[in-house]
Amino acid sequence: MVLRLSDICDQEDSLAPGHRACLGCAEPVIVRQILHAIDKPVVVASPTGCLEIITSPFPFTSWRVPWIHVAFENVASVLSGVEAAYHVLSKKGKIEERDIRFIAFAGDGATYDIGLQFISGAMERGHRFIYVCLNNEAYMNTGIQRSSATPFGAWTTTIPVGEVIPGKIQHRKDLTAIIAAHNIPYVAQAAPHAWRDMMAKAQKAAAADGPSFINVLSPCPRGWRYEPSETITLSRLAAETCMWPLFEIENGDCRLTATPGEKRPVTDWLKTQGRFAHLLRPENSEVVAELQAWVDREWDKLLKRCVS
């Protein structure tokens, strides 16, 4: 499939307009990009989270494809069962055999934290499905609580910011590396500003003979505290500061899919968002220095592992 913007514009969206996302939310953008990229019939499942809430307020739905809502923790298990049932019923001749793709769209709370053991099991068993993490770096749907995807130093409603604790005191979990350690065919990080890159990764994930995983940064105006018109700008800035590198791991081989022309300082990222406003005070300069050092270490590690 050639990624031409004219072709995409002529397609009907699999996610209908009229959903109830917050102004500037990146999640519908990401879902639309990925579903446009896959030219096969799809079955989608989502756990409880922002995407489920905004697309399925009873008695309405924004989904134009088969879609299943499941519990917070078990979307990988449910979709594994759907995939297995499809193959069994097809072999028995009870349903028409079609080349279907099975896709999970889930937030970072359901992915990094609550559902991790279910995801790990499904990956180890080798079910052929695509798991997409819509990573807005906190539990946004339930009130902006911290998750293990929340960056170091960030404010959330469950992380006090004051004289003693200047935001989250742990660095975020490297979930992409954890999933890659399962030795599945395809793993990637993506972001919505780089739409061709994301859609190409969705196509590779759909073609993989086994489980695949795409971790997508999903800027959130409400939780990150920025103007809704700046969503794509923040997505691009995350890549340019190397807070969110874009890369893929295909059959064990790591490759950078975007390299910043000039790596920008992490302060360029921090000053765009209210959740980091406290870090710009002089008394928190050491926190900023630690975050920059961590970003530099992680970027150097990635450069050593990947080929451009």
pLDDT at 18: 86
> Average pLDDT, stretch 27-36?
97
Q: What is the percentage of the chain residues whose pLDDT exceeds 90?
A: 91
Measured in Å, how far apart are the chain's first and last C-alpha atoms?
23
Q: Which domain holds residue 248?
A: 5-305
Q: Which of 94, 119, 80 is nearest to 214 (CA)?
A: 119
pLDDT at 262 over 70: yes
Band (144; pLDDT cuts 50, 70, 90): very high
pLDDT at 1: 53
Per DSSP, the three-state class of 169 is: coil
pLDDT at 8 over 80: no
Using the 8-state DSSP alphabet, how is residue 263 labeled? P
Using the 8-state DSSP alphabet, how is residue 22 labeled? P
CATH number of the domain at 252, please: 3.40.50.970
pLDDT at 92 over 60: yes
Band (11; pLDDT cuts 50, 70, 90): confident
pLDDT at 160: 87
pLDDT at 222 over 80: yes
Distances (CA, A) of 276 to 23, 215, 218, 281: 21, 22, 17, 10
pLDDT at 271 over 80: yes
> Average pLDDT, stretch 47-54?
96
Q: How far apart (Å, rounded) are the C-alpha atoms in residues 33 and 37?
A: 6
pLDDT at 45: 98
pLDDT at 308: 52
Q: What is the percentage of the chain residues whose pLDDT exceeds 70?
A: 97
Q: How far apart (Å, rounded) are the C-alpha atoms in residues 153 and 109?
A: 18
Q: Which of 9-13, 102-106, 212-216, 287-291 has the lowest mean pLDDT?
A: 9-13
pLDDT at 163: 87
Q: How many helices (H) and strands (E) does the chain have?
A: 12, 8
Domain count, the chain: 1
pLDDT at 17 over 70: yes
pLDDT at 176: 98
> Average pLDDT, stretch 222-238?
98
pLDDT at 202: 98
Q: What is the pLDDT of residues 152-169, one digit of tens each?
A: 999 999 998 998 999 999
Band (254; pLDDT cuts 50, 70, 90): very high
